[in-house]
Chains A and B, each alone.
Chain A
Amino acid sequence: GNSVTQMEGPVTLSEEAFLTINCTYTATGYPSLFWYVQYPGEGLQLLLKATKADDKGSNKGFEATYRKETTSFHLEKGSVQVSDSAVYFCALSDPFSGGGADGLTFGKGTHLIIQP
């Protein structure tokens, strides 16, 4: 079956540091890959996505590249801010293995803490 593995948290960084959150996946078909963010007390928000190999998703200074050869979709940001503190979830959808539906498979989440 499908699965997503992401680095354990919490990850604590100083403001303006470089961020990498690792994500690897296992899928039977050709998945689309996503990063979602959950700010304290709020619901999940789509941060970025990539739908095929070598695609790069980007949003709000965050980037992730779909690497089929390493089955990875690592999240990066060049200079983090205190406002980036949140829980980040890597996820995939694989409609060709799920009867045509798009149910998301999530990782366990990485809690990011940015200190001023």
Chain B
Amino acid sequence: DAGVTQSPTHLIKTRGQQVTLRCSPKSGHDTVSWYQQALGQGPQFIFQYYEEEERQRGNFPDRFSGHQFPNYSSELNVNALLLGDSALYLCASSPDRGSVAYNEQFFGPGTRLTVL
């Protein structure tokens, strides 16, 4: 079992550019959540995808958007990058509501985004 995988590992962009981050969930999981973790802070919830739709959204602007594919993998897109978007972006997956462990989220290693 590969667990949650994310790509790329590191990324450097300049202000105003757009970026796409990718996530493959743990086998058997159908729900994907994205988090932003600034240096020295706890992760902040961006949004969650289930059945290819955004189910819940945190306090992030519309510049942050996402997508979930039929194979449950997901993308996070950020437009018009700002310096403040520099952070570690974490993807987490969880099993469906029928599972005993439905509220346990398994995290990937993250993508480190640097905006210059």
Contacts and interface: CB of A to CB of B under 8 A. Distances in A.
Given A44-B107, A46-B105, A46-B106, A104 B33 contact: yes
A102 B94 contact: yes
A98 B50 CA distance: 14
B56 A99 contact: yes
B104 A107 contact: no
A43 B42 contact: no
A93 interface: yes
A103 B54 CA distance: 12
Interface string A33-56: 000100000111110010100000
Interface in A96-111: 98-109
Nearest to A32: B103
Contact of A101 (B35, B40, B48): B48
Contacts of B42: 4, 89, 91, 106-109
A44 B45 contact: no
A99 B94 CA distance: 17
Nearest to A89: B42
A32 B101 CA distance: 12
Contacts, number: 66
Contacts of A51: 103
A103 B107 CA distance: 13
A43 B105 contact: no
A93 B31 CA distance: 14
A109 B103 contact: no
Interface of B: 4, 31, 33, 35, 40-45, 47-48, 50, 55-56, 58, 90, 92, 94, 102-110
Given A4-B42, A104-B35, A108-B42, 18 more contacts: A42-B109, A43-B4, A43-B108, A44-B43, A44-B107, A45-B107, A49-B104, A89-B42, A101-B55, A102-B105, A103-B33, A103-B48, A104-B43, A104-B92, A106-B42, A107-B42, A108-B40, A109-B40
Interface of A: 4, 32, 36, 42-46, 49, 51, 89, 91, 93, 95, 98-109
28 contacts: A36-B107, A43-B4, A43-B90, A43-B107, A43-B108, A43-B109, A46-B104, A46-B105, A49-B104, A89-B42, A89-B43, A91-B42, A101-B55, A102-B31, A102-B33, A102-B56, A102-B102, A103-B33, A103-B47, A103-B48, A104-B33, A104-B35, A104-B43, A106-B42, A106-B44, A107-B42, A109-B41, A109-B42
